[in-house]
Structure 1
């Protein structure tokens, strides 16, 4: 069984060979996934009316939905240069069942389980969105801040210990994704099929 990776309007997802995409994930359209990143079970990444970019060693955990937004005038984003992409950097952890919609996550950001980050919101480098939080449109979670609640607001500054924990979490998932990818390749080789 392979993940459902589909083109839309002639644009196919571009997935690095060393990225892991789980068998029940769905990746559509103008999506790019970098090396060492992992897209886990039940995730949906739909880059149909704009682009989704995911950097290196980022983990998108089970059940997460990532979408984009179109230009407000209804035109095609490729013609107008408008609309709202979803841009996700390197070494980011996105917890289970999160919703990311036309937002930006900078390197080493952390988004907790069932959190929502909305249109044009930005989570800066090493910023943290708590589990269940709702970051409303155009809000900015600054570096080294924890935002929580619905709607989310600044709760406090992160401790150095919390900040230092982001990179090991991302590295753990990069290693875990690599083991799944290796086992998939071994299964395909055992079946005589190509990976």
Structure 2
């Protein structure tokens, strides 16, 4: 059974969302339809709200948190890679956040962008739509290819199917 804490607010979890048994969801957190929250993820909305959009997958060991008066907003069909940290940031729709990446307070990743593995997005910085950011600190290196955008969509669908299969549900 997942740990769902009602301290600092009651999580609002759509009935179709899948939260794996070792995940922790605490405080003012909203998980939309089809979200899948994998093993050892911590989502803590204790000082401001966290909203995670439809069909978003948050992979093992990721941490999503807020700062006072700085919510975290994550769009639809987002992949948040293993061990990523998102803190008081905004992520648009159809985004991939690579493994081990860190998004700090006020960072914005616009729709369709990609943050490469291990990238640090500093406070207040923006990754523009359809762009690839890499490095520490991040730098914008190029526009994503159509193949990369398609791979991201396929990855999201793969995680939806794996999550459903993991709990004995139908795959779509």
TM-score category, normalised to shorter length? over 0.9
Counterpart of 1:45 in structure 2 is: 43
> TM-score if structure 1 supplies the norm length?
0.84
Q: What corresponds to 2:54 in structure 1?
A: 56
Is 1:124 aligned to 2:122, yes or no? no
Match of 1:143 in 2: 129
Whether 2:94 is the aligned partner of 1:108: answer yes
1:177 counterpart residue number: 163
What residue is the counterpart of 1:4 in the other structure? 3
1:36 pairs with one of 15, 34, 58 = 34
Deviations 1:4-60 (A, max 9, x none): 000013x21111111110100000000000111100001000000000000110000
CA RMSD of aligned residues (A): 1.0
SS of 1:84 mapped into structure 2 = coil
Within 2, Cα distance between the matches of 1:181 and 1:91?
20
**Alpha-carbon distance in 2 for matches of 1:167, 1:7:** 33
1:159 equivalent in alignment to 2:158: no
Aligned residues: 169
Greater Rg over alpha carbons, structure: 1
Residue 144 of structure 1 and its aligned partner are, at CA, apart by: 1.0
Deviation at residue 91 of structure 1 after TM alignment: 0.4
By how many angstroms is 1:155 displaced? 1.3
Q: How does 1:5-24 map to 2 (within 5 A)?
A: 5-9=4-8, 11-24=9-22
Unaligned runs of 5+ in 2: none
Q: When the two structures are superposed, what TM-score results if normalisation uses the length of structure 2?
A: 0.95
Match of 1:134 in 2: 120
Shift of 1:182: 3.0
Q: Name the structure where helix makes up a greater proportion of residues.
A: 1
Question: How far apart are 1:180 and its partner, in Å?
Answer: 2.1
Deviations 1:115-148 (A, max 9, x none): 0011111111110000000000111101111100
Residue 164 of structure 1: how far off its partner (Å): 1.7
Asked if the contact 1:18/1:178 (under 8 Å) is kept, the reply is: no
Q: Quote how far apart the aligned CAs of 1:178 are.
A: 1.5
Unaligned runs of at least 5 residues, structure 1:
71-82, 184-195
The structure with the largest strand share of the pair is 2
Q: Residue 175 of structure 1 aligns to a residue in which SS?
A: helix
Deviation at 1:181, TM superposition (A): 2.9
Aligned residue in 2 for 1:192: none
How far apart in 2 are the matches of 1:16 and 1:104?
21
